[in-house]
Amino acid sequence: MKRSEDERMGSRYKELHERLNLWYREHGRHDLPWRQTRDPYRIYLSEIMLQQTQVSTVLERFYFPFLERFPTLAVVAEASEEEVLKAWEGLGYYSRARHLHRTARLCNGVLPSTSQELERLPGIGRSTARAIACFAFDEAAPILDANVRRILYRFFRRRKATERELWRMAERLFDAKRPYDYNQAMMDLGAMICTPKDPRCDLCPLREGCRGRQAPERYPEAKKASKTPVRRAKILLCERGGAWALSQSRERFHGGLWHFPRFEDEVSGEFLGRELARYSHFALEAEIWRVAVLPKDYDKPIGFFTPKSIEELPLGGIDRKIFKKYFGVLSVES
């Protein structure tokens, strides 16, 4: 009797799951600290930090110092947004820190245990909710981060797919018997084997079932590179009685961070140098000027801070750079 298509695919996936699991046991990144805990907060923090930042950067510079300052989500809830932003300084994409703070307050320092509830919290999308629910609470559901997406496009030989189709593909390939190991394995496979460039199909545990392995780099379709717009601004260092003018951003981008006043028109003062900052959607070319007074047209509210208190404020990346580069000299001069 002929086996049904479902049965055939089922046993094929079963074999692939076995191979993936063996590969993960041997090659997986088991020593990552967020894999050695079931503490939902520590797992959530790693997921949020890793959304836009490489593992090595998170691991070497941010994860442990943040946990030292905020060992539990309850401590995050008790802190001010500014304190959380300060600990996030340098990691970029600051909406993540603001969402973390709001989430901590909304759930009174205790995360819910299902992906459905997690997904209702600020800054937690479907895939992140499922990752937290899976890694902390053993919920059996696939995730769909950038690495997993790339594998699915290639495995199912798709150049394009809607979100809905991608989730359907994720469900098809998912190993519901070992959700934790499967999801971790897929992330590692995407990071180590099925990489954007030069994937190592010869070493891949999924190669027997992968439809795209003849030409993996064709999948998914490459996005057209868009030119990053460049913005220009003058950044003004203005001192009064040993304290320096700063504004606090209220915009969505960089909201809550402090920065030296920015101005676009002509200024009179001393030109100190140029700095370049790259953000996700634009680059900023800045001229740094020391001015005696702020231009009349500068209309943002400002405060004055001593260099010592500036140390304590959450500053934008370019402002922290300027502070480090120029303030030793300026403070001595003033």
Residue 179 interacts with ligand SF4 (CB under 6 A)? no
Residue 142 CB, nearest approach to ligand SF4 (Å): 15
Residue 214 CB, nearest approach to ligand SF4 (Å): 9
Residue 212 interacts with ligand SF4 (CB under 6 A)? yes
Nearer to ligand SF4, 133 or 148 (CB): 148
Nearer to ligand SF4, 73 or 189 (CB): 189
Q: How many residues bind ligand SF4 (CB under 6 A)?
A: 14
For ligand SF4, the binding residue among 206, 235, 291, 322 (CB under 6 A) is 206
Residue 207 CB, nearest approach to ligand SF4 (Å): 4
Q: Which residues contact 199 (CB under 8 A, 6 or more apart)?
A: 154, 193, 216, 217
Residue 262 interacts with ligand SF4 (CB under 6 A)? no
For ligand SF4, the binding residue among 55, 140, 191, 201 (CB under 6 A) is 201
For ligand SF4, the binding residue among 194, 236, 246, 291 (CB under 6 A) is 194
Amino acid present at 281: H
The angle, 0 to 180 degrees and rounded to 10, between the axes of the packed helices 5-27 and 163-173 is 80
Element containing residue 240 per DSSP (H, E): strand 230-240
Span near ligand SF4 by CB under 6 A; candidates 135-143, 192-200, 245-253, 305-313:
192-200
Nearer to ligand SF4, 195 or 247 (CB): 195
For ligand SF4, the binding residue among 28, 142, 179, 199 (CB under 6 A) is 199
Residue 217 CB, nearest approach to ligand SF4 (Å): 9
Question: Between residue 137 and residue 156, which ones bind ligand SF4 under the rule CB under 6 A?
Answer: 151, 154-155
- The counts of H helices and E strands in the chain are 14, 7
The angle, 0 to 180 degrees and rounded to 10, between the axes of the packed helices 179-192 and 126-137 is 120
- Cα separation, 66 vs 84, in Å, equals 9
Distances (CA, A) of 235 to 97, 269, 273, 328, 330: 25, 12, 10, 17, 15
Residue 204 interacts with ligand SF4 (CB under 6 A)? yes
Residue 145 CB, nearest approach to ligand SF4 (Å): 15
Residue 150 CB, nearest approach to ligand SF4 (Å): 8
Please pick, among 7, 15, 18, 47, the residue that the annotation labels catalytic: 47
DSSP string, 272-332: EEEEEEE-SS-EEEEEEEEESS--TT--S--EEE-HHHHHHS-B-HHHHHHHHHHHHHHHH
* β-bridge pairing 283-291 and 230-240: parallel
Give burial (CB, 10 Å; 0-12/13-18/19+) of 95. Answer: middle
47 flagged as catalytic: yes
Nearer to ligand SF4, 29 or 278 (CB): 29
3-class secondary-structure state, position 248: strand
User: Rounded to the nearest 5°, which phi and psi values hold at 251?
Assistant: -75, 165
Beta bridge partners of 234: 263, 287
Kindly list the residues in this chain that would bind ligand SF4 in the complex (CB under 6 A). Answer: 151, 154-155, 193-194, 199, 201, 204, 206-207, 210, 212-213, 216
Catalytic residues: 47
